[in-house]
Amino acid sequence: MARAPTRAARRKAAPPTKAPKGADRPTPPGLPLGRSGRFHPPYGLGLWALGRWTKEDEARTRSSLDRALERNVPWLDTAEVYGTGRSERMLGDVLALRAEGAPRPFLTTKVSWEHLRAAQVRASIQGSLQRLGRSSVDVYLVHAPDPHVPIAETMGAMEELWKAGKIGAIGVSNFTVPQLEAAQAALKEAEIVVNQIRFNLLDRAEATPIARYCREHRIVLEAYTPLARGLLTGRYLGREKPSAEVRRYAHSMFEADRFAELQGTARKLRDLADEAKVPLPSIALHWLARQGVAPVFGASRPEQVDAVVEAWAIRPADAVLDRAEAIAGGRVA
Ligand SMILES: NC(=O)c1ccc[n+]([C@@H]2O[C@H](COP(=O)([O-])OP(=O)(O)OC[C@H]3O[C@@H](n4cnc5c(N)ncnc54)[C@H](OP(=O)(O)O)[C@@H]3O)[C@@H](O)[C@H]2O)c1
């Protein structure tokens, strides 16, 4: 009677199973946050409702936030200036209602460019922590530089807050390379771990050298407006026109001549997405992520959060992202 093969023999006889490419590499928990040994989540939701903050806008932003928490969006970004504190307060209220043990999102908030004197920085963090209902935030960012306040004064105050444990790390936003260098030089022990700037497939000329610098200096680059205010979801390519408000807050992107050119590029990207059978926002977000950049998207409705979370889960092939790069760089007719 034939004996059943031993387990070792079975293993030897079995054809080698080929793991899908990359399957043996664990997904990193995010981007290394300076020398801290901690990680920055790879993407997140921003809680700015343009300049509006009407009751309806606030209710819609709140339902987007609820949906983002349900769907475990790992990072939430706000600022003291968003709705003059309303965004932080709303976030604090929502987090306070979370069940014990629910995953804690990574939190970033910002001190206004109008509050960069040392005493103002100290007062601003107190206000933010109070509204957020927290004893600290993961990263506290200088929202934008103020040429009238010496960067050393602001950074000295930020370092004090870091030493006191009120902020987990120091970040900046809308800083150029020379401004980043000056900010880092002003710190004695702490490091700049984040710079948040506008960066997307359609608006990348100014951001590209900053992105290179941040990569070389292990600074996490957070990209705001990653969906070009909806243009990179395929919106505004048909009959829908951007509202005056969207145009106002989209900087030069939606100005007449430039907008027509960007629409042309967005159409090519949409055709690429259709051909590759992936959502256009997957290309927009993963084009950034592939460069080690963390996109922070906006959403004024829960359905937009769903669409972005689902798009994030689809990583287009490198060849598709290479083609997107060529289209955005004007190298495809
Ligand atoms: N540091 C800074 O100076 C700075 C400046 C700007 C922004 N930020 C941060 O970055 C975050 C995101 O900025 P952003 O709002 O400009 O980013 P964005 O992601 O490029 O644009 C968000 C807008 O795109 C539209 N949208 C999103 N998903 C959509 C979908 N699936 N289908 C159709 N339309 C969709 C929505 O427009 P509608 O609401 O019009 O429908 C949404 O409000 C802000 O909340 C803020 O936290 C920082």
Domain containing 299 — which CATH number?
3.20.20.100
Atom of ligand 1 nearest to the CA of 308: 31
Query: Is there a domain that residue 77 lies in?
Result: yes
Tell me, what's the pLDDT at 247?
Answer: 81
Residue 203: φ, ψ to 5°: -140, 85
C-alpha 97 to ligand 1 mean position (Å): 25
Q: Residues lining ligand 1, CB < 6 A?
A: 46-48, 77, 143, 173-174, 196, 224-230, 233, 235, 246, 296-300, 304, 307-308
- Probe target for ligand 1 pocket from 81, 221, 232, 304, with the most ligand atoms within 8 Å of CB: 304
In this structure, which residue's CA is closest to atom 41 in ligand 1? 300
Query: Is there a domain that residue 150 lies in?
Result: yes
C-alpha 118 to ligand 1 mean position (Å): 31
Q: How many CA atoms lie within 13 A of 82 on its CB side?
A: 25
| 263-267, Cβ contacts within 8 angstroms, sequence gap of 24 or more | 263/231, 263/236, 263/237, 265/201, 265/202, 265/327, 265/328, 265/330, 266/202, 266/228, 266/231, 266/232, 266/234, 266/236, 266/237, 267/237
In this structure, which residue's CA is closest to atom 13 in ligand 1? 225
Query: Is there a domain that residue 260 lies in?
Result: no
Atom of ligand 1 nearest to the CA of 306: 31
Question: Which residue, among 231, 298, 238, 287, has the nearest Cα to 258 in the 3D structure?
Answer: 231
Tell me, what's the pLDDT at 3?
Answer: 44
Tell me, what's the pLDDT at 53?
Answer: 83
Residue 164, C-beta contacts closer than 8 angstroms, at least 6 positions apart: none
C-alpha 211 to ligand 1 mean position (Å): 20
Bridge partners of residue 111, in order along the sequence: 142
In this structure, which residue's CA is closest to atom 17 in ligand 1? 225
Atom of ligand 1 nearest to the CA of 281: 31
Atom of ligand 1 nearest to the CA of 249: 16
Kind and range of the H or E run holding 324: helix 318-328
pLDDT in tens, the chain (333 residues): 334 444 444 434 434 334 344 444 455 579 999 988 999 999 999 999 776 788 888 888 899 999 999 999 999 999 999 999 999 999 999 999 998 899 899 999 999 999 999 999 999 999 999 999 999 999 999 999 999 999 999 999 999 999 999 999 999 999 999 999 999 999 999 999 999 999 999 999 999 999 999 999 999 999 999 999 999 999 999 999 888 888 877 777 888 788 999 999 999 999 999 999 999 999 999 999 999 999 999 999 999 999 999 999 999 999 999 999 999 999 887
Of 43, 82, 236, 249, the active-site residue reads 82
Query: Is there a domain that residue 242 lies in?
Result: no
Query: Is there a domain that residue 257 lies in?
Result: no
Kind and range of the H or E run holding 110: strand 106-111
C-alpha 7 to ligand 1 mean position (Å): 56
Atom of ligand 1 nearest to the CA of 110: 1
Cα 176 to the center of its chain, rounded Å: 18
Tell me, what's the pLDDT at 2?
Answer: 39
Residue 204, C-beta contacts closer than 8 angstroms, at least 6 positions apart: 328
Per the structure, the complete domain to which residue 130 belongs is given by 37-231+279-315
What's the number of domains the chain is made of? 1
Amino acid residing at 298: G
Cα gap 176→195, rounded to integer Å: 9
C-alpha 134 to ligand 1 mean position (Å): 25
C-alpha 297 to ligand 1 mean position (Å): 5
CB 285 within 8 A of CB 297: yes
Query: Is there a domain that residue 258 lies in?
Result: no
In this structure, which residue's CA is closest to atom 44 in ligand 1? 46
Active site residue 82: yes
Tell me, what's the pLDDT at 309?
Answer: 98
Query: Is there a domain that residue 28 lies in?
Result: no
Query: Is there a domain that residue 145 lies in?
Result: yes
